[in-house]
Chain A
Amino acid sequence: MPNPFLERKLKLDILKSLRSPAKREPRRTVTCSGCKTELEPDVFALALNVCPSCGLHMYISAAARFTNIFDGGEYSEPFPCAAPRDVLAFPGYAEKAAEQSAKSGLSDAGLAAEGKIGGTYAIAAAIDISFMMGSMGTSAGGTVTRAAESAASRGLPLVIFCAGGGARMQEGVFSLMQMIKTSAAIRRFSGGGGFYVSVITNPTTGGITASFASLADITLAEPGALFGFAGPRVIEQTIGEKLPQGFQSGEFQLDHGFVDAIVPRAEMRGTLARLLALHAGARI
C-alpha cells in the first residue's frame, strides 16, 4: 500500500539532502528489494519496514512486531527464548548457532510476549527469520507450545506471527516432533475455548504451514507473504511444474480458501484489536 505522506516525506528528505552539501556524504540507506527505491532508515522504520513506494512488506524483527501491536508499544516477555539444543550432536551446529546468535542478537527464532492489544490482554508469539531462516527446532517449537499452554491456563487469547522455512535440519527428527508438539498444544488450547489468531508473514512454508500456522480460528496474512507447504523451488525441482506468478501468496491462499483476510502491517494492530474485542464480547 503506497503511503502518500511517507512518500512525500521521503521526497522532501531527498531534496533537503541535496540542498545542503554537508549532508551529501554517503549515508546508509535501505534498498527496497522489490522496486529498488533507496529509503532513509528512519522512514523505513516509521513505515514498519514496508516500502512507501511499492508497498512491499519486507523483513521486520519479532521485537518490532510486538512494539507495533501492543498498546503504547508496551509488553513483557512471559519466558525467555531458549538456546538451540544440539540434540543430534550435529557437526558444526553449535558454531552455526553461535554465529547466528551473534548476528541476530537472538537466542533462537521463537519469541513470546504479552500485553494489551486495543485494551484486551493477550499472549503473542513470533518467529523471527533472522535466526537460521526461522526454522523450527526444539526452541521455537517450545516457544509456541509454552505460549499456547500459558494462554490456555490463563484464559487469554493467542496471536502467533508465523514465518519460517520449516524444520531445523540440524535437529533432525526432534524438529519433526515440534510439528506434533505445537499442534497438540494448539488443540488443547482450542479445546478449552481459547481464541487463536494466526498471522502469516513472509515466508511461511514446510513444517510451520503444516502445523500451528494452519490451525487458527482466524488466519490473517500480510500482503505478498509466501504461504505454502512445498516451496516453489521444491515443486519446480521435484515435479518440474512451472508455477504462475503469485502462486502461494497470501492473496492466492485467500482465493483458495486458506486465509481469512489480507492485512497490511500498518493495519495489523487495529485489526487484531478489533478481533480480540469481538471475541471478548461474545463471552456470556
Chain B
Amino acid sequence: MKTPEQLAPYDRVKLARDAGRPGSDDYIAALIPDFFEIHGDRAFADDPAVICGIGTFGGRTVSVAATCKGRTIDERVRRNFGMAQPDGYRKFLRCLAQAVKFRRPLVTFIDTPGAYPGKSAEERGQGQAIAECLYQTSAAPVPVVTVVIGEGGSGGAIALGVADRIIMLENSVLSVLSPEGFASILWKDASRAAEAADVMKLTAADLLSFGVADTVIPEPRGGAGEAPKLMYRRVGAAVRDALAELSQLTETELLEARYRRYGSFG
C-alpha cells in the first residue's frame, strides 16, 4: 500500500472512485439517524442519483442534499452511477427552497462523475437545471456546507457545491472534467489520463491551496473505505465546526462573503 507521499494524482482519482469507499448515503445514515428523504421534483420524476431530505444534525434540523453513486452493482445501476438528470437538480432546488423558507442550514455531499450526458437529459434542460442551482444557491440566505467525499466531476458536481465552506476528503477530487475526458479532448488520447491528472491540479491539496476548499480531512492509508466509522466521525466534526462558525454571521454578512468568495476566482 502506498504512503500518502507516494500517491500520484491519478492514484487519488482511483481512490476517489473506489467502490469500497463510503458513499453519500452512508454518511447521511451515520450522521443523521432520523433522516427523512423527500422524493421527486414535482414536475417529472424522482432521480435516485440525487438524495434530498431533512434530519437532525448537531442538535438542529438541517436540509441535506447529495449526489450518490451507490456501492453495489444494483445500487449503481439504480442511481445511474451518480449521474444526475435535470429532475435530480430540480429536486435539489425544492430542497433548497425549503431550507430558505424554514431558515435551515444546508449540508451537501458530492460524489458524481458528472451530470448525465444523455438525450433525455438534454430534452429536459440539463444545462438550465444546473444553472438554476448555481443561481439560486448563490443567494440563499442560509449557511451552506459542502463535503466532497469522492469524485467531483464538473458542472454536475458544483450544482450542489455553491457553499460557504467546502470540505474535501484527502483522496477526493474536483475537476472541470474527468482526466480521461481531459486527455481525450486535449491530446486525443484517453489513455493518457494519469498524465492529465498530473497537470489538472484536481486533488484536495491542490484545491486547498487555491482556496476552493477550506478544509481537507485526512484519510487512513488505503483510503476512506479502510475505516468508515473514523471518517464519519471526522466528517461530522468538520461539518459541525463549519456550521458553528457560519452561524455567527448575519444573513447579509453570509451572502456578502459567499459572493466575494466566488468573485475572487479570477
List the interface of chain A (C-beta within 8 A of B): 85, 87-88, 90-91, 137-139, 141-142, 145, 167, 169, 172-181, 183-188, 191, 205-207, 209-215, 228-230, 234-235, 238-239, 241, 243, 247-248, 256-258
Contacts and interface: CB of A to CB of B under 8 A. Distances in A.
Nearest to A241: B119
Interface residues of B, number: 46
Contacts of A172: 175-176, 200-202
A238 B185 CA distance: 13
B98 interface: no
Interface stretch (B50-58, B62-70, B134-142): B134-142
Interface stretch (B25-33, B34-42, B257-265): B257-265
A173 B127 contact: no
B132 A180 contact: no
B1 interface: no
A188 B155 CA distance: 21
A215 B154 CA distance: 19
28 contacts: A85-B266, A87-B266, A88-B201, A138-B265, A141-B265, A142-B266, A169-B177, A172-B175, A173-B176, A174-B265, A176-B158, A176-B174, A176-B176, A177-B265, A179-B155, A181-B266, A184-B139, A184-B263, A186-B135, A211-B130, A215-B132, A229-B117, A229-B127, A230-B115, A230-B122, A247-B119, A256-B124, A258-B125
B266 A239 contact: no
B190 to A, nearest CB: 10
Contact of B118 (A90, A180, A212, A239): A239
A234 B115 CA distance: 12
B131 A243 contact: no
Which of A138, A139, A228, A248 has the most chain B CB within a 10 Å cutoff? A228
B13 to A, nearest CB: 14
A185 B202 CA distance: 25
Contacts of B266: 85, 87, 137-139, 141-142, 174, 177-178, 181
The secondary structure that dominates the A interface is helix
Interface string B135-172: 11011000000000000001100110010000000000
Contacts of B199: 88, 90-91
Contact of B210 (A91, A173, A212, A258): A173
Given A138-B266, A184-B138, A184-B259, A206 B155 contact: yes
Interface string B181-201: 010011000000000000111
B24 interface: no
A141 B131 CA distance: 14
Contacts of B162: 180, 184
Contacts of A248: 122
Nearest to B174: A173
B259 A247 contact: no
Given A181-B262, A211-B130, A211-B155, 18 more contacts: A137-B266, A167-B154, A167-B177, A172-B175, A173-B212, A181-B263, A184-B258, A184-B259, A184-B262, A191-B139, A207-B154, A210-B130, A210-B155, A212-B131, A215-B135, A229-B127, A230-B122, A239-B118
